[in-house]
């Protein structure tokens, strides 16, 4: 499984609305596998198709917890509640981090790699990661939501907690 090239800002595809996936086949499964390998290689917790140059509604999230890898195809946000503010970064913005406020809870509906519907509820950091990736599918970048940018020494304090 090859590691794919990450598209960096200001590439136009990062600010475009992605098209729904209609075909669920081996090609899609391979793309999901390649996206996972790419995310892991670049030490990310999520990756959306536009970040690898594809304008398709496909994203993955894996925060390295018991939830495992979440593959979201054509995801829709059904509900959000609460609020959290915390640090975010993005593979398409290397070495840039900022504080972002997002809902603390999200409920989504999506399809898996075989085209089967599922719903998922998440809170805290997992909700943040899911919402960040779904934003990518709508051409929304985390930099548009940053309250303030973080310095390297602030990030070290967050990582050690």
Which listed residue (37, 83, 133, 154) is catalytic? 133
Average pLDDT over residues 111-132: 98
Output DSSP code: residue 14: G
Output DSSP code: residue 123: E
Residue 161, pLDDT above cutoff 60: no
Which are the contacts of 75, defined by CB distance < 8 A and separation ≥ 6? 57, 59, 108, 109, 110, 130, 134, 137
Give the mean pLDDT of the chain.
95
Domains present along the chain, CATH in parentheses = 12-159 (3.90.45.10)
- Over residues 74-108, the pLDDT tens digits come to 999 999 999 999 999 999 999 999 999 999 999 99
Residue 41's pLDDT is what?
Answer: 97
CB 128 within 8 A of CB 102: yes
Residue 9's pLDDT is what?
Answer: 97
Residue 1, pLDDT above cutoff 80: no
CB 134 within 8 A of CB 77: yes
Half-sphere exposure of 54 (CA within 13 A, CB side): 17
Residue 159's pLDDT is what?
Answer: 52
Residue 160, pLDDT above cutoff 60: no
Residue 158 binned pLDDT confidence (cut-offs 50, 70, 90): low
Active site residue 133: yes
């Amino acid at each position: 499984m090859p590691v794919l090239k990450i598209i960096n800002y200001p590439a136009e595809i990062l600010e475009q609305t992605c098209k729904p996936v209609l075909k669920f086949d081996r090609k899609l499964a391979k793309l999901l596998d390649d996206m996972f390998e790419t995310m892991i290689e670049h030490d990310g917790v999520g990756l959306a198709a536009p970040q690898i140059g594809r304008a398709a509604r496909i994203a993955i999230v894996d925060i390295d917890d018991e939830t495992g890898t979440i593959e979201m195809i054509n995801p829709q946000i059904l509900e959000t509640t609460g609020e959290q503010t915390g640090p975010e970064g993005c593979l398409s913005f290397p070495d840039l981090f900022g504080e972002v406020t997002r809902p603390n809870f999200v409920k989504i509906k999506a399809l898996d790699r075989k085209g089967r519907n599922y719903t998922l509820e998440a809170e805290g950091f997992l909700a943040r990661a899911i919402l960040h990736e779904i934003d990518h599918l709508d051409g929304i970048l985390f930099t548009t939501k940053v309250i303030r940018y973080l310095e390297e020494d602030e990030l070290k304090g967050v990582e050690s907690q």
